[in-house]
Amino acid sequence: MHIKPFQAVYPNLDYITSADSFFNSARDEYLEYSDSGFFTKTAQEALFIYRIKGAERIYTGLIACADIRDYLDGNIRQHEHTLAAKEQQQMQLMFRRRAAVKPVLLAYPGVEDINRWIEAYITGRAPFFEIESEESREHHFLWEVRDGGAIQEIQVLFEQFVPFSYIADGHHRTSTTSLMYGKTLEGKQHGDYHLLLCALFPSSDIDILDFNRVVYGLNGHSKTAFMAHIAQYFEIGFLNGPEKPEQKHDITMLFNREWYRLRWKEYVLLEYFDEEVVLDAMLLDEKVLGHILGIEDVRTDQRILYVEGPKGLEGIQHAISKGEEGVAFCLFPVQLEEMMKVADAGKVMPPKSTWVEPRMKNGLIVQEY
């Protein structure tokens, strides 16, 4: 992969009294913040080592600009389809802000030489920027790498050892940047759209959590009929209380105030024997949400509510209480290796299959076009 330094814009801590309020509003109010002096700019182009220290986990990566041609050539790989409407929204934001206010999160198979280089560089050096988010209970640190020799060293390591990376979060930002780059080639647009602001984290510093589903309404089925349909696809067991699944191909279901453990019947899994990766979200979308509940497009149907894993079982129970005849499905997290295999095969996963951490913050570091 080809990574490049850039002249970064970052928050002026003299004017940030609440990090969470600032981060939560920076996406929509970047221009107002910028015009009011809430941001400052680095003196020269640099790369940035980025560490997030939470209560139980530390993530360390590198913020840089990737060459968008790596994406066009298939070296930055995707696992989700993009939607034209969201690309239109992203394009409007790009035109208005003339800046990328949030890095695309890229995962790459860990490389020990890169890990050692990063640790050696920050050892004994104080970060040039530090801010705390009380909301997420995290400290964010940035170290500036601006020496030409050091920049070249890490660039060479990425070119040698990281032929591919994978979009963990930011598919629409990536695809929209590529569209804007195409317009610059046609002479229809000006700007540095050949650069993609990204945060590169090794696979060891990427966590994929569950992403669960709540569906409102039973598509005209009675409660008894719904359970009979479910029994066609699953072995069903009763649970004493709320639980998340402990292994792949197990799903826990909250229905009619009762919790159940569901396991796909063998004949269902045998239908996909030739598939390299079989995801529970894919099976659930097809067999249950499609065949039983009549949902044709899981991207747009308003009956579905997606509940990210960090909200826990309490989030599931709260969501299902909002509607009548709701049913909730808790899925076992997709593994990072599965996500990579899907992307390597040029295939895509169902929407909202993964909740990826670390989460990037709007306005923490900005690339101007």
CA dihedral (122, 108, 357, 7) positive or negative: positive
Q: Look-up: residue for tokens 């049913």?
A: 327
Alpha-carbon distance of 255 to 73, in angstroms, equals: 46
Cα dist. 265→94, 174, 232, 255, 269 in Å?
48, 39, 8, 20, 7
Enclosing H/E stretch for 13: none
Structure tokens at 223: 């409660």
Alpha-carbon distance of 287 to 326, in angstroms, equals: 17
Question: Do 2 and 25 touch, CB atoms closer than 8 A?
Answer: no
Alpha-carbon distance of 119 to 154, in angstroms, equals: 12
Residue 331 per-residue DSSP state: E
SS3 content of the chain, % helix, strand, coil (to 5): 35, 30, 35
- Dihedrals phi, psi of 43, to nearest 5 degrees: -70, -25
Beta-carbon-side half-sphere exposure of residue 254 (alpha carbons within 13 Å):
23
Q: What is the pLDDT of residue 222?
A: 95
Alpha-carbon distance of 301 to 289, in angstroms, equals: 10
Burial (CB count <10 Å: 0-12, 13-18, 19+), residue 242: middle
Burial (CB count <10 Å: 0-12, 13-18, 19+), residue 117: middle
What domains can you pick out in the chain, each with its CATH number?
3-208+357-368 (no CATH), 211-332 (3.30.1760)
Structure tokens at 216: 């409102």
Closest by Cα among 344, 339, 348 to 77 = 344
Q: Split the chain (369 residues) into runs of 10 and give each run's mean pLDDT.
A: 95 93 92 93 96 93 95 92 80 85 95 97 95 91 96 97 94 89 75 88 95 94 96 97 96 96 96 91 95 90 91 93 87 94 90 89 93
